[in-house]
Chains A and B, each alone.
Chain A
């Protein structure tokens, strides 16, 4: 039995979402939460695989869960919302329809391993009080809009409430960051649509960015690497086509939390940001310049 959390990065965290992994590892290290990356993990299949071949999609997640169980992990943490949902959905379906699991040999694993998301892990296992006590830096940045995305909270509502999630807001406020009311916090960013039907995807992102700015937010905080990428990568295009001067940093909640809890600036992956770089430079000043603020 390993006391570490099983860590399932997923394909995005090794690619465009590398900043998420960097800041996540830094944050968990600061909070003394042991992580162990699953050895030889495979892609979860996300939504595309399941829409093509549902049966073998279950095998993908079943394999990961079995790997986690063999390594002795009680919890398997999947930071990417799509990975989290794919694993969790497989777990739910195979438990309800054990016939599907036949031959997968995964039923034992499915019952033994809990699929969790880092937001919920920090909220439940660490707790707001501990975060408050461990704050090492005051947040000098602006107000943020917490964006939960669509896949993490629905349908199970386990990571947070499915219609009105507030845990990220609570964590950030406990860390000294002010958050704004953001009614679009569970509205979809379009996922892979920015790659396939570009105009539709970009429009969805424009709506999210505009509303955040309208509510007074100066940055958006996310939990999912694809949401972060979508909101981040197309702001220049949006500026050109809408004439709206949007330039919002899109941060991971792990980046802000780790920073406030005292992490080194190099470990946060802030150089990976595309949009909002000026604000990021102002808000995250390395230690020696603190005295000037």
Chain B
């Protein structure tokens, strides 16, 4: 790109934007005004500057009239700054000799008076003309993208994204905190609305992950440190010791049978505490990897060193059990990261008026999922804690959702899973089922039909938010039962419904450690704690940190089809970056004038993107232009005025201010 020599020659283009601007701003007068401004060689007005003929105008004028600066006064730079910069480039001029003025959102759309709007537009155009004279040529940088991908979280979202990327030929590191992949979906019995068995559709995918040559599966592992920037992330993964060597274990599970604990004593988390496990265990029979884990907190050998270690004997020649295994740290380099860390369910103890924890026959939905499941703690029998079959079951919707006192959002899946549980429990027990709802939210494909099916199954639906679950009886018919007190808003009075079993449809929440995870990856959380997407409509899988994508419930509550779709989208975004091979960086970055830097390090702590580092050898700060987002904080904060920012130089800003105030 050749640098035009000689004086500044500015071309100004005023866009009508159809009637969007022209109806309020007097574009002709504006063009005439601009023509008289200093350094302006030509000034045009045109109906649609962003159109091809409009851009052609710019390109031709650069050539014919030797323009070396261009100002376009039209809509928001968010829309067409890129378009016009490209037009300059095609016309042979450095694209950063361009400045855009927004006279649509900032003048035409916010004024009713033509005179006032035009006056403001004139001030803005003048400011731009004065500024652009000081623009310098800038180059976009390029950063190479490392083709490997890190996926954090091995639930259905992580699994699907991993398979998609692996099938595209990319190498994936799938890191999962628990001892097995599968996430929450592995705990479900059937999925709505088709009542597909969850394990039957999930386990093939889990096996595919295990056997795929492009996927490195690290379970029982956590990411502890992340450095770098898009295309070049360096992550440290801590692999917790299972005390069983994955490469030697054959998955026969005889060590579990052989454990000295004949009766299992430890709370089984996979079965939501409804059953017990031994200190050596596998989370569930189809776990991937098919390798047991030893829990050092409950294993006798770890606590006292005096166990017969029958497990090691049972393993025999394979010698897969190694009770001295240590944690291992792995360092990996990846270009992109997909976060699929999922959700946690609302702790029902936070709603004490529903009696969870107080009355033994109040269950959460996940607990009932395990009860209904044939491989669960009761082999699929839905029984109460004392072994009785329930004759009446109440399912309470919106526990910890749509609630000013706990969580305000709707958790999106609870209406559907409550319907599913109503169907399954009725099938297993023949009990009378009551669903207490505020609204019935069944928007997906086949969901409304599922609801109609439930209605025809004689499940009772009462519209009202349950006030309390209590055990005091008003008369003898209620003795021994749990009573649900609710206002039946359609019937218009308060009802007391005695039931044997209460199921709380607990909502979805971000994980308790979501704030730590998001800090680790340098992304943002929204106010409720879910990870923040770049744009709620148009960029639901991107984050504000380039190269890091979101998939699944960590971004917001959703069901399995939406999760899988989002995982595919995240994989596609990662693929787009990887296949392009490089990413271009915006040049509006800050840089340190090392002669003026005094080494006070103020800028380093100010930078929200950790883009400024201290170079010890020369005792000065230096900005990493790839990480820098051009926010300007360090520029303003530097006490020596040593930091400057491209496209926001002092002379440019002062000229702009003068221009705006010139008519004041």
- Chain A positions within 8 Å of B, measured between CB atoms, are 163-164, 183-184, 207, 211, 214
Contacts and interface: CB of A to CB of B under 8 A. Distances in A.
Contacts of B470: 183
A214 B473 CA distance: 10
A46 B471 CA distance: 32
Given A163-B353, A183-B470, A207-B474, 7 more contacts: A163-B352, A164-B352, A183-B472, A207-B472, A211-B472, A214-B472, A214-B473
Contacts of B473: 214
A59 to B, nearest CB: 31
Contacts of B352: 163-164
Contacts of A183: 470-472
A184 B472 contact: yes
Nearest to A184: B472
B556 to A, nearest CB: 29
A182 to B, nearest CB: 9
A184 B472 CA distance: 8
Nearest to A203: B474
7 contacts: A164-B352, A183-B470, A183-B471, A207-B474, A211-B472, A214-B472, A214-B473
Interface in B469-502: 470-474
Interface string B582-596: 000000000000000
What are the 9 closest A-B residue pairs judged by CB atoms, nearest first? A211-B472, A163-B352, A183-B472, A183-B470, A164-B352, A163-B353, A184-B472, A183-B471, A207-B474
Interface string B519-554: 000000000000000000000000000000000000
A183 B483 CA distance: 12
Contacts of A164: 352
A168 to B, nearest CB: 18
Interface in B419-478: 470-474
A214 B471 CA distance: 11
Interface in B138-196: none
Interface in B63-104: none
A163 B353 CA distance: 7
A242 B473 CA distance: 15
B640 to A, nearest CB: 46
A41 B418 CA distance: 56
Nearest to B474: A207
A164 B473 CA distance: 19
Nearest to B470: A183
B249 to A, nearest CB: 48
A207 B470 CA distance: 14
Contacts of B353: 163
B467 to A, nearest CB: 11
Nearest to B479: A214
Contacts of A211: 472
B465 to A, nearest CB: 16
A207 B472 CA distance: 9
Q: How large is the interface on B (under 10, 10 to 19, 20 to 34, 35 or more residues)?
A: under 10
Contacts, number: 12
Contacts of B474: 207
Contacts of B472: 183-184, 207, 211, 214
Contacts of A184: 472
A207 B496 CA distance: 14
A163 B471 CA distance: 15
A164 B470 CA distance: 13
B291 to A, nearest CB: 44
Nearest to B359: A183
Nearest to A212: B472
Nearest to A164: B352
Nearest to B353: A163
A163 B472 CA distance: 16
A163 B470 CA distance: 13
A52 B230 CA distance: 65
A43 to B, nearest CB: 33
A268 B550 CA distance: 68
Contacts of A207: 472, 474
B406 to A, nearest CB: 12
A164 B472 CA distance: 15
A277 B471 CA distance: 30
A184 B468 CA distance: 11
Nearest to B472: A211
Contacts of A214: 472-473
Nearest to A161: B352
A141 B471 CA distance: 27
A211 B471 CA distance: 10
Interface in B340-362: 352-353
A28 B149 CA distance: 71
Nearest to B355: A183
A211 B470 CA distance: 12
A262 B473 CA distance: 38
A226 to B, nearest CB: 22
A184 B352 CA distance: 14
Contacts of A163: 352-353
A211 B472 CA distance: 7
A4 B416 CA distance: 60
B476 to A, nearest CB: 11
A243 to B, nearest CB: 13
Nearest to A182: B472
Nearest to A208: B472
A184 B471 CA distance: 10
A214 B472 CA distance: 9
B412 to A, nearest CB: 27
A105 to B, nearest CB: 35
A211 B473 CA distance: 8
A214 B480 CA distance: 12
A138 B238 CA distance: 60
A207 B474 CA distance: 7
B41 to A, nearest CB: 61
A183 B358 CA distance: 11
A85 B473 CA distance: 30
Interface in B252-293: none
Most central of B353, B470, B472, B473 by chain A CB within 10 Å:
B472
B494 to A, nearest CB: 13
B352 to A, nearest CB: 5
A163 B352 CA distance: 7
B387 to A, nearest CB: 24
Interface string B347-383: 0000011000000000000000000000000000000
A211 to B, nearest CB: 5
A241 to B, nearest CB: 15
B24 to A, nearest CB: 40
B35 to A, nearest CB: 56
A201 to B, nearest CB: 16
A284 B474 CA distance: 33
A125 B471 CA distance: 35
A217 to B, nearest CB: 13
A183 B472 CA distance: 7
A207 B352 CA distance: 22
B25 to A, nearest CB: 43
B561 to A, nearest CB: 38
A14 to B, nearest CB: 34
B613 to A, nearest CB: 47
A197 to B, nearest CB: 17
A184 B474 CA distance: 12
A91 B353 CA distance: 28
A35 to B, nearest CB: 35
B474 to A, nearest CB: 7
B255 to A, nearest CB: 45
Nearest to B471: A183
A150 to B, nearest CB: 13
